[in-house]
A and B are shown apart, each in its own frame.
Chain A
């Protein structure tokens, strides 16, 4: 039995090593300029003696990103898009999901069917007609054209409906109404605190989804000054094709901040991710 435990830990360690290797490689690669890029797998070693040749490492790639290539703009766009979309979508989905779970009204079955149906529509199918629609209402190549269609995803309505069904007791809502609370106050003061865990989870899921989204901004945006990080970094693959260090530094900026943010908040995030599978 003891011996088997060691095998398990050994296999897990191997998996962890394979998982972490690309992160370590990425960070090392971002510190190397092109002339030293091919010289070493991870960090450049000294030609004589042992140890790392620090003189071949620098933050030059990062300096070029921010001073020559206006990468701060892309970073700001990503922060703006992710947080604004995240906040609006969380509020709209919480309100909608709560209404679907806790109000009896004519048409509720139809709306629920719409929510479930919309979740089945594959996103790429809407790419071409969505592009044409944004073109005809003048939202192409604008940040609003990215935010507005994303503020009330059916998936979010569904998650908040499930959360409200399981954690907002009807009696509490009745009590608030008898005390004279308006429906809006009942929602914000009674229901919202009860579904707080789902609010945290969904906010993070949306933030991360928008931050990492590529195909939508790639299709909707044309002006480089509006590009989020994902699209800006992908440009390097074409324009600065030979400049590996620069590509990797841009990728570090796209990866590390969210990684730190989400590892800090991982408990809520991971438990919420699986709630769709277990309760749905």
Chain B
């Protein structure tokens, strides 16, 4: 028998043991391994050859990598500057005084967040298609046949099609965070502002915005991180290709193609590190901006 002292010394380690084992085996080891892999060229999982920093040099010179980075960046910009304002606007509409049936609106607009990206890609792949597409048929009817567009398969519309589909999925999801944040707005301050004759724009700037700022920072950061990991949506909407002129190629799609279609896990790992660097830079920039704003308030 163990004494109580020994058992309570051991207990936390026992409780944490699943995490520790999984962390070491499936996070720490692969992480270290990806550093090694990034300096190798591989042919399938078993054959590899040391190439030093050549993978990274190849990546810098690889026009497809830059195309993927640019596409992903455009998508992230749209998420932050189009999608989040819509999410915030809807949250404000729901939470404003006098809106009936608040819980109903919340859950209705949130519901697409429950749909997996794969399934949403299946739906929008066909909705945005030329012959059958819901959107195209509507445009066709409205313009009496003058417009007949193949959204997902025309170069200049590929990114817009992806953005439309992602908005359907995530506008309501991010809205829920803003709805939660708006519960922090102090009623007494809002009412005092009304009595002082503040207009709705002033009230938003001086009462609402400071209260939701921490959550807004969190949502911006998760949107950027999520956007940079975009894969399933373009991969399936574009029928397992990168679309015309690689307009739908994203970083993770390129990583997948290189690692699992070509079979070079080494170059795929180098791309993975490229992604990690981009994400770290985004996180640091967002933190710095948030801190400067907090200092300014």
Contacts and interface: CB of A to CB of B under 8 A. Distances in A.
Interface of A: 1, 5, 8-9, 11-12, 15-16, 18-23, 25-26, 29, 37-38, 41, 92-93, 95-96, 98-100, 103, 105, 108, 111, 114-115, 118, 120-133, 135-136, 148-149, 151-152, 154, 157, 177, 182-184, 187, 208, 211-215, 219, 230, 233-234, 236-238, 241, 244, 247-248, 250-251, 254-255, 258-259, 262-263, 266, 270, 273-274, 277-278, 280
Contacts of A182: 7
A182 B4 CA distance: 8
B138 A41 contact: yes
B260 interface: yes
What's the dominant secondary structure at chain B's contact region? helix
Contacts of A254: 116, 118-119
Interface residues of B, number: 93
B23 A1 contact: no
A211 B232 CA distance: 14
B256 A12 contact: no
Nearest to A180: B4
B148 interface: no
Nearest to A37: B132
A18 B171 CA distance: 11
A234 B251 CA distance: 20
Interface stretch (B74-82, B121-129, B201-209, B285-293): B121-129
Nearest to B268: A128
A121 B27 contact: yes
Interface in B16-38: 16, 18-23, 25-27, 29-31, 33-34, 37
B39 to A, nearest CB: 13
Contacts of B231: 124, 215
Contacts of A215: 231-232, 252, 256
27 contacts: A11-B90, A19-B109, A19-B168, A19-B172, A96-B15, A96-B16, A98-B15, A103-B12, A105-B9, A118-B23, A125-B269, A126-B27, A127-B259, A129-B37, A130-B26, A131-B259, A132-B45, A148-B22, A149-B25, A152-B21, A177-B8, A183-B7, A187-B15, A212-B117, A230-B119, A237-B125, A277-B215
Contact of A233 (B8, B25, B118): B118
Given A22-B127, A37-B132, A99 B16 contact: yes
A94 B284 CA distance: 30
Contact of A12 (B13, B31, B99, B259): B99
Given A125-B276, A127-B255, A127-B268, A152 B18 contact: yes
Contacts of B115: 212, 255, 259
A274 B23 CA distance: 25
B23 A125 contact: no
Given A15-B109, A20-B108, A105-B13, A237 B99 contact: no
A195 to B, nearest CB: 13
What's the dominant secondary structure at chain A's contact region? helix
Given A183-B8, A214-B116, A244-B132, A19 B111 contact: yes
Contacts of B8: 103, 177, 183
Contacts of A5: 98-99
- Closest 4 pairs (CB-CB, A-B): A212-B116, A99-B15, A183-B11, A129-B30
Nearest to B255: A124
Given A255-B119, A263-B111, A277-B218, A96 B37 contact: no
